[in-house]
């Protein structure tokens, strides 16, 4: 993982330089709330000093916002627009970081969210986040993939 103060994000590839964005179009971007990470690592007896957030391997870290409540929403961060496609499924690597972390991240959707990029651009530290719910019946339908 590389910590950045800003990143270019595209509809084709997600975060520039992250090969998974092109490979998995419904999870081009993953977003983690610092509050959720802190609760999860506290559950396993650690602190932010012991386990920094980038060990979670999320693309974007946010603060003061509950991403688990946004599934099915549209999100704007800086210049980019995202469709929240689901909760992030924590992988077994989390157990390698700390025993019990996988379970702690599953709890209450603490693992973050996955998103598809609908409008690319640049995100930077300090950008504002806006969320809009998609009206019932207006959720875009598509084949899986």
**One digit per residue, pLDDT tens: the chain, 145 residues?**
777 788 999 999 999 988 788 888 888 999 999 999 999 999 999 888 888 888 788 899 899 888 888 888 999 999 899 999 999 988 888 888 889 999 999 888 899 999 999 999 999 999 989 888 765 555 555 555 5
Pairing label, strands 129-133, 121-124: unpaired
Where are the alpha helices (H) located in the chain, listed in sequence order? Answer: 20-23, 34-43, 93-97, 101-106
CA distances to 38, 70, 73, 99, 101 from 43, rounded to whole Å, are: 9, 24, 29, 10, 8
Pairing label, strands 29-33, 60-62: parallel
Q: Which pLDDT score is estimated for 65?
A: 84
Tokens of 50: 């012991």
Give the global pTM. Answer: 0.85
Q: Which pLDDT score is estimated for 134?
A: 65
């Amino acid at each position: 993982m590389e910590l950045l103060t800003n990143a270019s994000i595209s509809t084709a590839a997600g975060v520039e330089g992250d090969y998974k964005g092109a490979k998995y179009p419904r999870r081009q971007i993953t977003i983690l709330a610092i509050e959720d990470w802190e609760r999860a690592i506290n559950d396993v007896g650690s602190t932010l000093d012991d386990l920094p957030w980038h060990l979670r391997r999320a693309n974007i870290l946010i603060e003061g916002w509950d991403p688990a409540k946004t599934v099915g929403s549209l999100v704007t961060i800086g210049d980019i627009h995202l469709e929240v496609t689901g909760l992030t499924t924590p992988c077994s690597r989390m157990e390698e970081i700390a025993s019990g972390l996988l379970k702690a991240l599953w709890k209450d959707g603490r693992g973050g969210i996955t998103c598809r990029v609908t409008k690319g651009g640049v995100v930077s530290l300090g950008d504002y986040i806006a969320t809009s719910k998609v009206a019932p019946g207006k959720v875009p339908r598509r084949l899986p993939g």
